[in-house]
Every structure is written in C-alpha cells, then in structure tokens.
Amino acid sequence: MSENYFKKYPNEKGFFNEYGGAFIPPHLEAEMKKINDAYFSISKSHRFISELRDIRKHYQGRPTPVFHCNRLSEKYGGQIYLKREDLNHTGAHKLNHCMGEALLAKYMGKKKLIAETGAGQHGVALATAAAYFGLECEIHMGEVDIEKEYPNVLRMKILGTKVIPVTHGLKTLKEAVDSAFDAYLEDPVSTLYCIGSVVGPHPFPMMVRDFQRVVGIEARDQFFEMNGELPDNVVACVGGGSNAMGIFSAFLEDEECSLYGIEPAGKSFKTGEHAATMTKGKPGIIHGFKCYTLQDENGDPAPVYSVASGLDYPGVGPEHSMLKDMNKVIYDSISDQEAIDAFFELSRMEGIIPALESAHAVAYALKLAKKYPRQSILVNLSGRGDKDLDFVVDTFGIPE
Ligand SMILES: *Cc1c(COP(=O)(O)O)cnc(C)c1O
C-alpha cells in the first residue's frame, strides 16, 4: 500500500492533488523537465543507489540513533523518543537532501551547484556536499543575512564555496532566490540549482522528500526494534517541511500513528509576527508552486517571522498542503516562548541542546506527553543548537 502512495503522489505534472506543479516561465520549464527526467532514470540505477548508501553510512554517519528520553518521560508522562538528526554530519537533516542533489549533479555531468540561503543552513549543507564531490558551489545570500549569520558565511568560505552578496531590495532571502535563479539561468547546462526544502517547482518537492525518506525508514525500524510496536505519535517541525516529510513518509500508511507538523506561532498571530502558514494561511501560488501561503492584500508573500530562522517561510511544501486537507497530518503551532522553554528543558533534562527549529517539535511533544501519559511520542530532532547559542543567550539570557 505504501508504494501506491509514492506512485500516486505527485502525479506526472508534479501535483499533490491541487498543490504543487510548476508555475514558471517556459525556458525554466524545459530545465525542470530535464532535471525530472534525469532524476527518474538516474535515481533508480543500482550505481546511484549504492553510492548514496555508502555516503550515508561512511560520510554522514547514518543511521542516526533513536533515543528514549528517560528523564523527560518520567517528568511529563508519555514515552518520549528522539530521532537524532542532530548527530547527522553538519548537525542537521539538511545534508540528507544536499548529498542527494549533489550526487544527481555529478551523474548528470554538472560542474557547479547554485542555491540561495537565508540563515545559511542550506548554504553550509550544500557547500559541504560540493566539497565532498569536488563540485564548484555558489551561494547567493542577502547582505542583511550575511551580517546576521556571519559564522555560516565563514563556514561556507572555509568549505571552498563562493558567497555572492545580494544587495538589492530588502537584501534578504527573497532577493537571494531571484539572484540565484538568474545565475542558474545563465548556464543551466553545467550547473544544478539546489532547493533547500520540499518546496519550489516540480520535481524538487518530490526529490527532496525522497532524499529525506531515509530518516523515516530508519526511525520506523529502530522504534519497532526497541518497542515491538510503532509510536502512537510522530512530531516534527515544519518550515518548508523537509524534515517532517522525511519522517512522516514512513508512517503515512500506519493508521495507528498520529502525525503532527508543528509551525512557528512566533510572537503572536498578527501579520509579520509568525509563520504558521497552514494554521493561518490559504492556498495560493508562491515561488513557482501552489501551497498554503501567507499573503498580503495584494497577493504577495506576507512578511513572516519566527525565533527559529529556518522556519520563517510564507509558503510550505505542497505535499504538506495536501496532507492537511486529507487530515492525514495534524498541523498545529508553538510560540517563540514555548520553543525557548523547550530548548532549555531538553538541554537540562537530557543533555541535548536542540536547534530552535527542533525545539518547536520538542515543545509540542511535551504537551502531548502531558495530555496522553500512556502514549509514545517520536520527535524528529532535526538539528543541534550550537548555531543558536549566541542568539538565545543574548536575547533571553540563561535561566537559573
Ligand atoms: C532548515 C531547518 C529546518 C526547517 O526546514 P524543513 O525543510 O521544514 O525541515 C528545521 N530544522 C533545522 C535544524 C533546520 O536547519
């Protein structure tokens, strides 16, 4: 049955029911079709699959463990487990799809990877993949973000990547997307544009999901081996939705598992103070695909905010949009303050400092544990919190 789901979604045009697709200029359409065709033939080849498996094991350090949180479970009730993507090489799940995209580039005979980055996490993961394969890499980043996220700029440069400052408009992610696309279109033959989540025009939402499926496949086996049954609840944070799609994909057919996608409620539900796209948004088109979006009166992407910069996107993956309408996944939100509290709670109770993005999922899991003390909860801990330390301490201080 589960294979049926993956054969059915997306359809050949890249639609997850009404969502997804590719709403892009004709010249780009041809390039996306080439990537799609290459992906379909290459990703099924024995050589590609065995090379990716080898990379996952010997370079990324997979499988990452599933860990039972003894102290948290005792305090909150429930049985709380973490899928430790913070232990994946580079400290987050993003490398799972970046290695896949870069390997595809290699098999397609490309010489160079191009992408934009906001906070720099996708840029660093892609720079890592480029170094591994000996590919050139060019990351477009708004000047404002370059200043804010300087450690990630240094990481990219150390890894041999060229960071291109984007100086027009608001000098943040939106302008960086345009700039990266323009650079890609100058030479689509020898470069591959690499999207950083399950978003963008077809085939990216499908490809990135497929590369992240390893998280769910591992976690389902590991949890079953530990407990002889599947988890009652699976929780993941949702920005674009790649880590959530990765873990959910293995449980979509398990009626006994409830799936929860957690968005950032930020400071409040006023426009510009959150990024709860599915909780508060409505269907629309953004960045070349259809999904739930937060839009202003003119239909432009609304300003969004979250304490976790990896979650502040005014759209969301088309597959999540479909799963919401199907009621297969429950989408809910967690505020900045709740995420910060969970950040310290996990650090102090289990000795694991989570990324602020992941802390949203942890916060929700603690609520579920209180509500359902006899149930098990598997959280995708998408990344580690080292990148957030300065910000958290400067902004919130360290509790007694
Ligand atoms: C980028 C990032 C996210 C959000 O991206 P998704 O595509 O929604 O997974 C979540 N957690 C961490 C640690 C990240 O770096």
Query: Residues 158-204: pLDDT tens digits?
Result: 999 999 999 998 888 888 988 998 999 899 999 999 999 999 999 99
Instruction: Determine the straight-line distance between the first and last CA of the chain, rounded to whole angstroms.
Output: 51
Over range 153-159, report the average pLDDT: 98
State mean pLDDT over 20-42: 94
Q: pLDDT band at residue 1, thresholds of 50, 70 and 90? A: very low
- Taking only the tens place, the pLDDT of each residue in 343-392 is 999 999 999 999 999 999 999 999 999 999 999 999 999 999 999 999 99
Q: Are 237 and 313 in contact (CB under 8 A)?
A: no
pTM for the full model?
Answer: 0.97
Contacts 24+ apart (CB under 8 A), 225-228: 226/66, 226/68, 226/81, 227/376
Distance 357 CA to ligand 1 centre (A): 6
**What is the per-residue DSSP string for 237-278?**
E-SSSHHHHHHHTTTTT-TT-EEEEEEEEES-SSTTS---HH
For ligand 1, the distance from its centroid to the CA atom of residue 372, given in whole angstroms, is 27
Does residue 143 carry a pLDDT above 80? yes
Q: At what angle do helices 121-133 and 94-107 cross, to 10 degrees?
A: 40
Task: Assess whether the C-beta atom of 308 lies below 6 angstroms from ligand 1.
Answer: no
Q: Per-residue pLDDT averaged across 146-153, rounded?
A: 92
Let me know if 122 is a catalytic residue: no
Residue 238 corresponds to which tokens in the numbers above? 């949702």
Q: What is the mean pLDDT of residues 260-288?
A: 96
Domains and CATH numbers, the chain: 17-57+94-205 (3.40.50.1100), 62-91+213-396 (3.40.50.1100)
Q: How far apart are CA 367 and CA 204, in angstroms?
A: 33
Which residue, by CA, sits nearest to atom 5 of ligand 1? 239
Is the four-CA dihedral 115, 34, 36, 16 of positive or negative sign?
A: positive
Catalytic residue among 27, 46, 89, 93: 93
Atom of ligand 1 nearest to the CA of 122: 1
Q: What are phi and psi of 69, to 5 degrees?
A: -85, 95
Which atom from ligand 1 is nearest to the alpha carbon of 358? 11
Q: Which residue has the tokens 């650090």?
A: 347
Where is pLDDT greater, at 246 or 25? 246
Residue 316 CA, ligand 1 centroid: distance in Å? 12
The whole-number average pLDDT for the span 24-34 is 90
Give me the pLDDT at residue 2, please.
58
Instruction: Return the ligand 1 atom nearest residue 199 CA.
Output: 7
Whether 357 lines ligand 1, by a CB cut-off of 6 Å, is yes
Q: pLDDT digits over 39-59, tens only?
A: 999 999 999 999 999 999 999
Alpha-carbon distance of 11 to 16, in angstroms, equals 7
**Integer Cα distance of 115 and 135 in angstroms:** 13
List the single range of 23-27, 110-114, 288-292 with lowest mean pLDDT. Answer: 23-27
**CB-ligand 1 contact for 197 (6 Å cutoff):** yes
Q: Which residue has the CA at smallest separation from atom 13 of ligand 1?
A: 383
Per-chain mean pLDDT for the chain: 96
Contact 357, 383 (CB under 8 A): yes
Q: Is the CB of 383 under 6 A from ligand 1?
A: yes
Taking the CA of residue 86 as reference, the ligand 1 atom at the shortest distance is 13
Q: What percent of the chain shows pLDDT beyond 70?
A: 99
The secondary structure element, H or E, covering residue 120 is none
Active site residue 291: no
